[in-house]
């Protein structure tokens, strides 16, 4: 559900940049007051894992479309809403600048759609009330499925509203909405199942990394828990990403059903052109693959039809998964350093007890 710049006007894009920037500042101040000693390392490794997990699209039966783990609800269950939003912001920023996944003008929209709704709506109003602190139980499975579905529905609705408000595409509101909501309902159910399964694993295998772990007990072995999550990120990005579905994602599928095209043409000139030029320079692995050398196109009658191999065992895919996870980890750690320079209370407390 990563929006491209072709759907967004400068006014809408700038407004959501400001809103998401304000949320980042608010979340950073809140994380400053967190007593969790392992919070920043947890944010880093989970950010790397979510980056890798978002590369794995799964097919949605009977639709011809696919979806991927958004990660917002999972991060919120394991980190809390404020830290989760900062991690999602890091993941989406790395994807946009270095892998051309989502536009730069639309980055604020993507942060809001994929981060705000699961962290500040679906989690506190649905998951927390239904699960009631019993992570890993049958109750938590139901809570995760419902919360993930609601979060994706709100995000899909926001995509349609932002597109309609921008007024630069010819996608009809009603038809676009009627396609976006059902397909993202299915994706939300799948995300809920994946979220619940991962939370169950963490609850039973590495409870020391959970927000509910005591400072003196389970967190003594938190280093091994972090290593387990880091290994999961490496395997997911380096190998499991080969098995991603080649079908278009829910947003691309919806646009194709409406207009016959999976992508819209980006307006020429102005801020769209300027940001596209910036992204072209920064995205050294566009679409999670090595840049292909420019070749003269063959005549249409001689050109062989291209088929997407599956599994896509490509060096570019593995490098993208590993490097993207590392860049996300680095960005989160830099955020932690910036907070430390401003006097992060939990870090000062930790240093005082050494």
Give the span between the Cα atoms of 197 and 14, in whole angstroms: 37
Number of continuous H segments (helices) and E segments (strands) in the chain: 14, 2
223 prior amide bond cis, ω within 30: no
Give the span between the Cα atoms of 5 and 103, in whole angstroms: 5
The hierarchical CATH code for the domain 5-287+316-352 is 1.10.1760.20
Residue 92 has pLDDT above 50, yes or no: yes
Tell me what the mean pLDDT of segment 91-117 comes to. 96
Q: Which of 152-166, 251-265, 267-281, 292-306 has the lowest mean pLDDT?
A: 292-306
Residue 300: predicted pLDDT: 44
% of the chain at pLDDT higher than 70 = 86
Strands 58-60 and 65-67: antiparallel
Are residues 102 and 2 in contact, defined by beta-carbon separation less than 8 angstroms? yes
Higher pLDDT, 86 or 210: 86
Tell me what the mean pLDDT of segment 82-90 comes to. 96
Would you give the DSSP letter of residue 218?
A: G
Tell me what the mean pLDDT of segment 146-167 comes to. 96
Domain segments of the chain as ranges: 5-287+316-352
pTM score: 0.89
Q: Which of 81, 35, 228, 194 is nearest to 89 (CA)?
A: 81
Are residues 110 and 155 in contact, defined by beta-carbon separation less than 8 angstroms? no
List, for residues 131-147, the tens digit of each pLDDT value.
987 877 889 999 999 99
Residues 6+ apart with CB under 8 A from 120: 81, 85
């Amino acid at each position: 559900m990563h929006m491209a710049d072709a759907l967004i006007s400068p006014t809408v894009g700038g407004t959501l940049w400001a809103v998401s920037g304000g949320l980042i500042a608010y979340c950073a101040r809140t994380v400053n007051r967190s007593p969790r000693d392992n919070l920043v390392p947890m944010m880093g490794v989970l950010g790397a894992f979510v980056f890798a997990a978002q590369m794995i699209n799964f097919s949605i039966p009977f639709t011809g479309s696919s979806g991927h783990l958004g990660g917002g609800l999972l991060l919120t269950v394991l980190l809390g809403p404020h830290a989760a939003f900062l991690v999602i912001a890091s993941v989406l920023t790395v994807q946009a600048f270095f892998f051309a996944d989502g536009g730069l003008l639309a980055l604020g929209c993507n942060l809001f759609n994929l981060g705000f709704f699961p962290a500040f709506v679906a989690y506190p109003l649905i998951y927390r009330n239904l699960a009631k602190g019993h992570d890993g139980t049958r109750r938590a499975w139901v809570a995760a499925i419902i919360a993930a579905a609601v979060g994706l529905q709100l995000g899909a609705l926001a995509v349609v509203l932002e597109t309609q408000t921008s007024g630069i595409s010819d996608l009809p509101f009603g038809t676009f909405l009627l396609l976006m909501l059902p397909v993202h309902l299915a994706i939300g159910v799948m995300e809920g199942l994946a979220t619940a399964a991962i939370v169950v694993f963490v609850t039973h295998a590495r409870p020391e990394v959970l927000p509910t772990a005591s400072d003196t007990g389970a967190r003594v072995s938190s280093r091994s828990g972090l290593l387990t999550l880091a290994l999961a990120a490496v395997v997911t990005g380096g190998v499991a990403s080969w098995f991603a579905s080649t079908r278009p994602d829910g947003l691309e599928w919806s646009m194709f059903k409406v207009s016959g095209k999976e992508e819209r043409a980006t307006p020429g000139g102005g801020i769209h052109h300027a940001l596209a030029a910036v992204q072209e320079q920064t995205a050294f692995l566009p679409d999670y693959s090595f840049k292909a050398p420019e070749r003269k196109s063959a005549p249409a009658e001689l050109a062989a039809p291209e088929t997407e191999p599956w599994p896509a065992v490509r060096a570019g895919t593995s490098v993208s998964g590993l490097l993207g996870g590392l860049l996300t980890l680095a960005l989160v750690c830099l955020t932690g350093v910036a907070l430390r320079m401003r006097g992060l209370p939990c870090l000062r407390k930790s240093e005082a007890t050494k």
